[in-house]
Amino acid sequence: MVGPLLRARDGKLRTRRMALSVVDTSKSAQDCSSINWKNVQFEQFEHDEKYHREISRLPIQGRLRHMTLHFAKYAGRLMDDQAEADFRRIATDAMIIAISTANTLNIDLAREAIDADLSDISRDAFVKRLAISAGRMSSACERLDHLEDFPFRQVLTGETKDILAACLALFKTEGWHPVDDMAARLLPVKAKSIFHGML
């Protein structure tokens, strides 16, 4: 009994350490500039490798296409009338997928100054930004299938950063906490694994 109990506790401690490592707690809880992007990206990388192996083992084009479908799905859902909890959950999912996409593209978010100018953004403006970016990324993926003369990487990188910036601006506007929300969303995904608490 001691072994499994220690592993379960270790899983909870690691989740708590993730929440603490991702943000400098000496700053305001809603201050997105306090996010430690290096830790955020590594934690997301570990999560994807352990809990989404079917995606992390796809060729890079397949992974990018999968992420683009996520963004399109979220944009479509947010076009519908969404309850408060649904909107916040979907916005959090979009941020998580943006970070995962940045990892796939090998974007160092700590060097990109994503949160350098976080202006307030309305929910409607956020949905529009997400829909436009998802459309542009879909176009890039489709052109890649045809091997067209097109700057695939530049478009996919630019739109990923735009989506992440929009997510951070929305969280700032709404007074939501990105670290807590991401951790809360990832926890039930981990719990679905038969190896939860052991990984």
Q: What is the pLDDT along the chain (199 residues), one digit of tens a residue?
A: 434 433 444 444 444 444 434 444 334 444 566 789 999 999 999 999 999 988 889 999 999 999 999 999 999 999 887 677 799 999 999 999 999 999 999 999 989 877 656 778 999 999 999 999 999 999 999 999 999 999 999 999 999 999 999 999 999 999 999 988 999 998 888 888 888 777 6
Residue 52's closest CA among 109, 106, 101, 107? 101
The token duo for 168 is: 């951070």
Angle at 42 between CA 139 and CA 51, to 5 degrees: 75
**What's the whole-model pTM score?**
0.82
Q: Which residues of 137-164 are buried (b: 16+ CB within 10 A; e: fewer)?
A: bbbbbeebeeeeeeebeebbbebbbbbb
Q: How many CA atoms lie within 13 A of 92 on its CB side?
A: 19
Task: Give whole-number Cα distances, 143 to 38, 112, 139, 184, in Å.
Answer: 31, 26, 6, 36
